[in-house]
Structure 1
Amino acid sequence: MKQALLIVDVQHGMFRIDPPVYQGDRVIAVLQKLIHRAREAGVDVIYVQHNGGPGHLLELGKPEWKIHPGIAPQPGDLVVEKRRPDSFFQTVLEEELQKRGVTHLVIGGMQTEFCVDTTVRRAFSQGYDLTFVADGHSTWDNEWLTAQQIIDHHSDIMTRFADVKRAEEIVFFGKE
């Protein structure tokens, strides 16, 4: 079994709007440590980057579209661009995972109830073993729920699809 760390849509624009993504600085700190540990273990770090259309918060090529500088990709990291919430839909993600022999994904990122949720469910349906980073995802309040309620709800729902663990509990094992 080989792992990869998949970071979904943690892009600069989410931190530059008012209000910024909920507890974004905390999530960045969690992801920084997780990325560092993955690299130390020789685990691939894969970034998914949403390409928004004209006028979108994450409009392709605009400064807000870039991956957050606090977790910026390094040479050798894979960046997969997407246009839909599903990180697998019409992207190279599945092909790249197969090429690398990845069977287990550790997933965190933004936005909890959209791109992260959709990607976890699709990865589960594709047959991947999954670990969902309980403290490594975020969103915004909506009309009915606070961001914290959405985060808590999805961390519970994800137990149907993945092992749900806080970042400090996740063990990277590299190639086996």
Structure 2
Amino acid sequence: MAGTVAMSPAVLSAVVGALLLLVVPQTRGLSPEGYGENKFRDAQMLQDKGHLKEHVKELSEEDINNMTPAEREFHFFKSHDSDKDLHLDGLEIMAVVSHNSDYDSFRRPAPEGETLEQERDRTNREHEERMTVYIGLVDKILSEDDTNNDGMISYIEYVISRRREPGT
């Protein structure tokens, strides 16, 4: 088939792993005022064996410990690719972003004497702020790394973007 590139499992694993480092931002500590530091290329998060075990239940701790960093990255990518098409669409990226964020960073203390209606309104505003940040992060990922503009990050796009210098 024209345009198809054959890859060994090791190369494919390295490619997926590299893509994951771009796609998975670390959003802890984000404020509604900004999207925070872009940590798409943060290898530490993707090498978190506990996080990987949380997502890939069929792998034993020994399996994970024996994986190369590229294999762990590939499995991390694969575990977030819910439709198994080797692409992360906006919703899959949103799931990664929201899963790796500090929910409490959006919460404000309840004012003394707050009514149930006021609490509901405050909670709704916090949710809207959180979603605005998440959507901004997804848009940023797609604008920087979706090179063919199909609205998804392919494994190959991720790997290529991992090799770029931060900020380019």
- Please state which band the TM-score falls in when normalised by the shorter chain: under 0.3
Greater percentage in strand: 1
Highest RCO, 1 vs 2 (Cα 8 Å, sep ≥ 6): 2
Using the size of structure 1 for normalisation, the TM-score is: 0.24
Please tell me whether Structure 1 or Structure 2 has the larger radius of gyration of its CA atoms. 2
Bigger fraction of residues in helix: 2
